[in-house]
Structures are given as C-alpha cells and as structure tokens.
C-alpha cells in the first residue's frame, strides 16, 4: 500500500516518514562549540535513543514548517516563516520507532512538489541541541560527545545527503535515501557558558595560516620519510657493492684453487658464480625502480589538489591514511555514489567535480551556531 496520500485539496501526505536516527556521527570541533576541542578535528558524536525518544523532543517536531533548503526560522534567528516561504508541514503524528524518529509530513507547494518529482527528495531536520563531553561506545563505535535536549525548528528539502542510502519509505517502487547532516550546532543561549558558538565557514588569515602550517608539517614529514628511504637505499647499494666485490674476490680465489680440479667441479662453481651475478643484477634493477623524490612530491601535490576540490562537496574528512590521489578518489566516488569501473575512480571524480563545482549541502553562515540534521526520506517506495 502506498504511503503517499492525497487529501481533498490535492496535497500530498506521507505517513511514518523517517526524519532523524539514533547513531554515532562525526562533527568538526568548531561545529560542537565546546572548550578544549580542536576546531578542525572530527569528533564522534552520539545521538542517543533516550534523547530522540523523549516527549519534549518528539513534541518539538510537531507542526514545524517544511521549507526548501535550510534556514533557521523564528525571531531568535532573524528569519520569519513568511520571509522564507513555507512549502509544507510536519504533522502531529510524530513518534519514535527505534532507531528512527518518524512523522507524517504534508507538502503544500506546487513548486516543491515538482522539485520532489524531479528528484530533490532528501530531507534534513534543522534543530537546536546541547552538547556534552562524554565518552563511551555504541554499536562497537566509540564516541567523545553526546547530543542532549534536541528541539525541532524545521524540516528542509535538500540535495543529496551525506550518509548515503539507508531507509526505504513506503511509496511505490522508487526509493529515497535517509541521510543525516554532519553540520549540527549547539542550542542557542544554552551552551554559552560552555564555549563559543560554531564559527562560520569564511576563510580568515588565522585559518589560512593554520592550513599552511599543516601543509608544511605534512611536507616536512614527507621529506623526512624520503630522506630515510634514500639513506636506506644508499646503504643497500653500498652493501650490495661490497658483497659483489667479496663474491668476485672469492670467485677469483676459487678459480685459482680450482686450476687442478676436476672439470665437473669447476663447471659447477662457475654455474654458482653466474647465479650470484644474476641475483646482483636483479637487486640493482629493483633499486633503480625505487620512487624518486620528485615522483613522491608530485604524488603528494596531486593528492592535496583532489582533497582540496573534494572537501567543499562532501565536507571535511580525514585523508592522512590515504597514500595518493587514487585512494582519495576511491573514497570520493564511494561517498558520492558515483558509478565507475575499478581503476577509473580519479577520472570519474574529476569529471563529476568539473560538472558540480559547488557543495551539494551548504551550511549557512548566520545559522552556523545551530544544528542541521540531514535526513533523506523516500517519497516513492514500497512498504516491506
């Protein structure tokens, strides 16, 4: 049975739609806004069931506006619903069904209805919350921070979410994704004694200096590694040359000793000498094939370039363990669900970034102190 229904006015209503989910998600320290956290470091944050299922949290999401793209609404945020334009509403049938917060949602706007039918089907909740420093483990994943007192503000139709495909919604054969935005912010006025609100994404001289310092540190570490590799290679070459000289000297001595030996014994010794020479030649070939300093510097530059283009699209991510641009490209196409053949990830990602240069989920500057929870919902799927 379809979950999508039309009322007497022709407005679409979907019942039991997921709008948020329990779990551990990553956020930058500057988005959390607690003292002692590094601004540009990713922290694991738990959204616990007891908070998402609380009566106050559930009631706060009832009858909040459905809008096109995120804007925190209300006098406290400087934008009224009529200024933004309300496209629909979350109904009063909001309930928790582990691990999801579900609700009935109704769409009024013809423009947004057409956008949804054209593929803009992801949903994301905008809400306020309070963060607490608390460590633990949930479903095998450790966390450092916990969200408390979650309070709804709106639900927004947005571009493709960051969490990928997760939940099918009860509507026809077409499925939507349920996603959660990793840019969430502290509850206004309730975290002021625990640290400053999250900063916006504008680049400052201080941020630029930090970025340059981090790049220099990474380059210094790379140069140190290259130096160590070169020293090891030089030591191997010296050892190989020494061994070769010793082998040749021994061969000459053995040859001299074998002047009166049986011809068969001499032939066997000559065969062993030829084998040693071949092994030395193979060692020299392997050493010559070792990567040069210039090759390593070029590889590092290519990696940093693709990271710089990918980060604005999918958000900050830890690439320290990714050895080169191809590794970053494999991560990028997976996060963006780009279909391509194995070995062509870098070409596919470059083509995608050329065609889509702007971020698909954009954090607003003035709302940088508020939580954004991106939840994709399937408006066309079948109940299973």
187 lies in the same domain as 125:
yes
Instruction: Give the range of the structural domain holding residue 344, as residue numbers without chain letter.
Output: 294-355
Query: Confidence class of residue 358 from pLDDT cuts 50, 70 and 90?
Result: low
181 lies in the same domain as 214:
no
Angstrom distance (rounded) from CA 373 to CA 124: 5
pLDDT value, residue 10:
87
**Any domain includes 384:** no
Q: With a cut of 50, say whether residue 378 has pLDDT above it.
A: no
Q: With a cut of 90, say whether residue 146 has pLDDT above it.
A: yes
Distance from first CA to last CA of the chain, Å, rounded? Answer: 10
**Domain boundary residue among 288, 313, 336?**
288
Output the average pLDDT for the chain: 78
Which of 181-195, 203-217, 272-286 is predicted least confidently? 181-195
pLDDT value, residue 366:
41
276 lies in the same domain as 327:
no
184 lies in the same domain as 213:
no
341 lies in the same domain as 277:
no
% pLDDT > 90, the chain: 43
**Any domain includes 271:** yes
Give the count of domains, the chain.
3
* Adjacent-strand bridge partners of 136: 143
**Any domain includes 269:** yes
Angle at 321 between CA 317 and CA 324, to 5 degrees: 95
**Any domain includes 237:** yes
- The larger pLDDT score, comparing residue 245 to residue 263, is at 245
157 lies in the same domain as 85:
yes
**pTM > 0.85: yes or no:** no
User: 46, 102 in Cβ contact below 8 A?
Assistant: no
Query: Confidence class of residue 193 from pLDDT cuts 50, 70 and 90?
Result: very low
Which of 147-156, 291-300, 344-353, 357-366 is predicted least confidently? 357-366
Angstrom distance (rounded) from CA 288 to CA 6: 72
Q: With a cut of 60, say whether residue 177 has pLDDT above it.
A: no
pLDDT value, residue 205:
47
pLDDT value, residue 368:
32
**Any domain includes 263:** yes
124 lies in the same domain as 86:
yes
Q: What is the mean pLDDT of residues 159-176?
A: 40
306 lies in the same domain as 236:
no
**Any domain includes 191:** yes
Which of 107-116, 238-247, 265-274, 310-319 is predicted least confidently? 265-274
pLDDT value, residue 359:
57
pLDDT value, residue 290:
59
Angstrom distance (rounded) from CA 26 to CA 21: 14
The model's pLDDT over 248-304, given as tens digits with 9 standing for 90+, comes to 988 888 777 656 566 777 788 888 889 988 988 888 776 666 567 788 888 889 999
175 lies in the same domain as 315:
no
pLDDT value, residue 1:
36
Angstrom distance (rounded) from CA 239 to CA 231: 12
Other CB atoms within 10 Å distance of the CB of residue 266: 16
**Any domain includes 381:** no
- The larger pLDDT score, comparing residue 8 to residue 377, is at 8
**Domain boundary residue among 256, 288, 320?**
288
Q: What is the mean pLDDT of residues 44-54?
A: 96
157 lies in the same domain as 70:
yes
214 lies in the same domain as 328:
no
12 lies in the same domain as 87:
yes
**Any domain includes 344:** yes
Burial pattern 135-146, b for ≥16 Cβ within 10 A else e, equals eeebeeeebbbb
**Domain boundary residue among 260, 288, 316?**
288
Q: With a cut of 50, say whether residue 192 has pLDDT above it.
A: no
Other CB atoms within 10 Å distance of the CB of residue 105: 23
User: 160, 177 in Cβ contact below 8 A?
Assistant: yes
Averaging pLDDT over each range in 10-24, 110-124, 152-166, which range is the top one?
10-24
pLDDT value, residue 153:
94
pLDDT value, residue 257:
66
Q: What is the mean pLDDT of residues 187-206?
A: 42
pLDDT value, residue 170:
32
Angstrom distance (rounded) from CA 140 to CA 131: 21
């Amino acid at each position: 049975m379809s979950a999508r229904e039309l009322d007497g006015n022709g407005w679409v209503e979907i019942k039991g739609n997921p709008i948020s989910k329990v779990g551990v998600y990553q956020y930058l320290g500057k988005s959390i806004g607690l003292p002692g956290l590094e601004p540009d470091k990713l922290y694991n944050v738990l959204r616990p069931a007891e908070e998402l299922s609380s009566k106050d949290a559930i009631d706060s999401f009832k009858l909040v506006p459905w809008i096109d793209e995120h804007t925190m609404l209300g006098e406290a945020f400087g934008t009224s619903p009529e200024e933004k334009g309300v496209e629909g509403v979350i109904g009063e049938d909001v309930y928790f069904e582990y691990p999801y917060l579900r609700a009935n949602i109704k769409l009024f706007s013809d423009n947004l209805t057409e956008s949804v039918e054209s593929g803009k089907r992801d949903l994301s909740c905008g809400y306020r919350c309070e963060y607490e420093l608390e460590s633990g483990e949930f479903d095998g994943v450790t966390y450092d921070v916990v969200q408390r007192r979650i309070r709804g503000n709106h639900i927004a139709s947005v571009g493709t979410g960051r969490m990928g495909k997760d939940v099918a919604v009860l509507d026809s054969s077409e499925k939507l994704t349920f996603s959660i935005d990793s840019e969430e912010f502290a509850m206004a006025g309730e975290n002021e004694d625990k640290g400053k609100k999250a900063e916006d994404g504008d680049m400052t001289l201080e941020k630029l200096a930090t970025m340059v310092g981090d790049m220099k540190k990474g380059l210094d570490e790379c140069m140190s590694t290259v130096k160590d590799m070169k020293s090891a290679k030089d030591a191997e070459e010296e050892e190989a040359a020494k061994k070769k000289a010793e082998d040749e000297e021994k061969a000459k001595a053995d040859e001299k000793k074998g002047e009166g030996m049986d011809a068969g014994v001499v032939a066997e010794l000559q065969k062993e000498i030829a084998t040693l020479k071949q092994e030395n030649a193979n060692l020299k070939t392997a050493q010559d094939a070792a990567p040069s300093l210039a090759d390593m510097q070029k590889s590092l530059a290519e990696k940093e370039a693709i990271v710089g283009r990918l980060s604005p699209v999918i958000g900050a991510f830890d690439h320290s363990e990714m050895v080169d641009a191809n590794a970053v490209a494999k991560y990028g196409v997976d996060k963006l669900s780009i279909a391509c053949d194995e070995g062509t990830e870098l070409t596919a990602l470059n083509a995608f970034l050329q065609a889509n240069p702007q971020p698909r989920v954009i954090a607003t500057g003035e709302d940088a102190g508020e939580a954004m929870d991106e939840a994709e919902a399937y408006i066309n799927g079948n109940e299973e």
